[in-house]
Amino acid sequence: MLLQIAIAGLVALLLFAAFSDATRFTIPNWLTITIALLFPVAALLAGFGWAEAGNHLLAGLVALLLGMALFAPGWVGGGDAKLFAATALWFGWPGLAVFLIHTVLAGGVLVLVLVIARKALPMAGISPEKLAGTALAPAAPVPYGIAITGGALWSLPATVFAFQF
């Protein structure tokens, strides 16, 4: 029962991260820290051994390095890099590739939707002033926290945690 609460907490935190990124273009540090700190609790409740916990920590470290490499040239935001790393802890080493692929695919869909919406809304008579400060504004950043959340929720059923229900 406690493990299911921890998993539900992860889902709620991810949804809040997506909402925060979509509305403010920021993912608060407390949110990624909470996601990361909730993982050891879930791992303990799931009965992880040292080797399995180490695989999950390795995945988180690799994801953090990947996120930093993408952040350095400005391809993703710092909050996105931290959210990806904190969430990768939950997928472990074998699941990191699936999480990464699902996140990239969700990101592609997100970008496609934003490109179409950014072109269609002005043609529909919505002025750029009304879109200012939103993800739909021309040249606005892409709130990639939405894609990370999508990738995580898509990947979660394939994790060891999904079999705990």
Residue 27, pLDDT score: 97
Mean pLDDT of all residues in 122-138: 83
Amino acid 37 reads: L
Q: What is the pLDDT of residues 68-99, one digit of tens each?
A: 999 999 999 999 999 999 999 999 988 999 99
Q: What is the pLDDT of residues 32-64, one digit of tens each?
A: 999 999 999 999 999 999 999 999 999 999 999
Picking from 23-27, 41-45, 117-121, which range would have the lowest pLDDT averaged per residue?
117-121
> pLDDT class for 138, splitting at 50, 70, 90?
confident
pLDDT higher than threshold 60 for residue 165: no
Residue 56, pLDDT score: 95
Residue 163, pLDDT score: 64
Residue 164, pLDDT score: 59
Mean pLDDT of all residues in 5-25: 95
Mean pLDDT of all residues in 115-144: 87
> pLDDT class for 132, splitting at 50, 70, 90?
confident
Residue 68, pLDDT score: 96
Distance in angstroms (rounded) separating the CA atoms of residues 119 and 22: 18
Helix axes 145-155, 78-88, angle to 10 degrees: 10
Cα–Cα distances (Å) from 49 to 44, 45, 53, 108, 120, in that order, read: 8, 11, 6, 36, 52
For 13, phi then psi, to 5°, come to -65, -40
The reported pTM is 0.92
